Structure 1
Amino acid sequence: MCRLACLLAWWLFAASRLYAAPVEASALPAFGLDQAAALRTSQQAIGHQPADYTLRDRTNQPRSLAQFRGKPLLVNFVYTGCFRVCPTSTRALHRAVAAMRDRFGVDQFHVISIGFNQPTDSPMAMHAFALQQQIDDKNWEFLSPRASDVAALARDFGFSYVATPIGFEHTLQVSIVDAEGRIQNQVYGDAFTADSLGEPLRRLLSGSLLSTSVLARSSFSDVLSKIRILCSVYDPRTGKYRVDYSLYIEIAGFLTFVSTLLILLLQEWRARRAMRRERAS
């Protein structure tokens, strides 16, 4: 009985000490990503051009970021040791890319996935990751940077990550880069859709396709492809892009108006020229 009383007294004393002197939150080990800071870092990258890093593709061949300029580029970061989030987001990105390629064309933009956990995310590991996600896209590269470049590369793209006891916590984003290599948009989440990625990409493609210099270098088939992109709209019912024939009608109406105006101006010019000749004679 005495032993039981002593144990009870010791338990009450320990409990009183525990509640009387709580552990400060700052003294506890902190894990995880500062979401607010990560979002600021990501947004600050918009408008900037990442440096021209050299990475290794799945065949261990060097590939520089400058090689992907000339067309829009989608960039995301993964680590191959991730068993849930990275595979899930990559498969979602794959579905969105397939829908956009179906409408915009297979060669209108590039995609690269960068393995940031170096040296674990080697070219061989990235090759295996792509196979696991069943990605066979000639314009989608899986790249491994040098370990010494990872921090600067991530900073240039506004990508944040932090090691945790179970792997990494990192920003879930896709950076949309224009043909000159400048970041134009950041799209967030792990369930990317053709709408969330396709609309900023379509606006980017539409802007570049309408430039005089691009049109001057384009063949007739290229011009038709460009018009096809301009006349594409996202259908949330099917999750795909479709043709908006009203845009075709608007374009046809505009071209008809311009043609009619040019004909009238030409007729007016000829009439004035004929009048000047009559007066001269």
Structure 2
Amino acid sequence: MRAACPANRGLAVARLALTLAWFFAAWSAAAADATLDRDYALKTSEAALGKRPANYAFTAADGRRVELAAFRGKPLVVSFVYTGCFQVCPAATQFLKLANEKAEEVLGKNRFALATIGFNLPFDSPAAMRDFARRQGAGADNWVFLSPEAAQRDALLADFGFSHVATPKGFDHLLQATILDTEGRIVKQVYGETFAMDAFVGPLKALVAGAPLPANDLGSMIEKVRLLCTVYDPVSGVYRLDYALFAEMLGGLLVIVATALFLLQDRRRAQRRP
């Protein structure tokens, strides 16, 4: 019985790798949800750094009229929620409550302000924001819950680099806490339902002290990579790892390996020819 030719074996491996690559690419395309473009959302968020949002007007949960310029003179942290969210927004807000408490332990009371803005109008009314704050136990003196004016909402979200997409279950949106300096410029975006406390407290501490902001470190870069590999699952209401992305990467790797094997076998055959 004749042994299989090494060249034929190499071609067989290459064909198998290409077949697997096609399978994983098809599977990942089918598994991908029509949700927020994570890469675009992150780039949009980062592009807002250094910008000063316009002086938008809001109605606070207690009915007061509030303008964004009123917060100048202190660092300001801004988060966006929609009150119809029953899991992710509440969880992120409750963690922000912990982060606010930790920052006040370090910096002292009322050294910075915190504003949570509802973006789903007309449903995120002052009454809805008041109820949302109550349910999260967010009653700190430095924290306000705001409803924007409908005519200004889109421009407001664009100025802060906040992206969202409507889905049958609600919204797929970027989880970000935006830090503004004392002059109202965006200086930091902190991502995630949870985050390292130093990523939040560190910039605020620097702003209060008038010191330069800490540079982005490896940890923040890893967090961005993790962010790009997560997706909001509207069924469970949580963010999860998007395995379709890993499948795409694996499929791409298989294509590279298959191509390399094919070229290697072709080169060996050429060398054996008289």
Which 5+ residue runs of structure 2 have no aligned equivalent? Answer: 1-25, 213-274
User: Is 1:100 aligned to residue 103 of structure 2?
Assistant: yes
Normalising by structure 1, report the TM-score. Answer: 0.63
2:154 is matched with 151
CA distance in 2, matches of 1:97, 1:28: 38
CA distance in 1, matches of 2:33, 2:200: 33
Amino acid at match of 2:92: S
Question: Match of 1:82, SS?
Answer: coil
- Asked if 2 retains the 8 angstrom alpha-carbon contact of 1:93 and 1:193, the reply is no
Q: CA deviation at 1:208?
A: 6.0
CA distance in 1, matches of 2:39, 2:78: 21
Q: Where do 1:64-79 residues align within 5 Å?
A: 64-79=67-82
Which 5+ residue runs of structure 1 have no aligned equivalent? Answer: 1-22, 210-281
User: Is 1:180 aligned to residue 173 of structure 2?
Assistant: no
CA distance in 2, matches of 1:154, 1:79: 13
Q: CA deviation at 1:194?
A: 2.6
Q: CA deviation at 1:192?
A: 3.4
Q: Where do 1:1-281 residues align within 5 Å?
A: 31-207=34-210
Amino acid at match of 2:51: H
Would you say how many aligned residue pairs link Structure 1 and Structure 2? 186
Q: CA deviation at 1:30?
A: 6.2
2:3 is matched with none
TM-superposition CA deviations, 1:153-182 (whole Å, max 9, x none): 000000001100100010100001000000
CA distance in 1, matches of 2:51, 2:194: 26
- Asked if 2 retains the 8 angstrom alpha-carbon contact of 1:130 and 1:142, the reply is yes
Question: Match of 1:125, SS?
Answer: helix
Spell out structure 1 runs of 4+ moving beyond 2 A: 25-31
- Asked if 2 retains the 8 angstrom alpha-carbon contact of 1:42 and 1:159, the reply is yes
- Asked if 2 retains the 8 angstrom alpha-carbon contact of 1:72 and 1:177, the reply is yes
CA distance in 2, matches of 1:192, 1:127: 25
Q: CA deviation at 1:146?
A: 1.4
- Asked which structure has the greater CA Rg, the reply is 1
RMSD: 2.2
Amino acid at match of 1:43: E
* CA shift in 2, pair 1:131/1:26, >3 Å: same
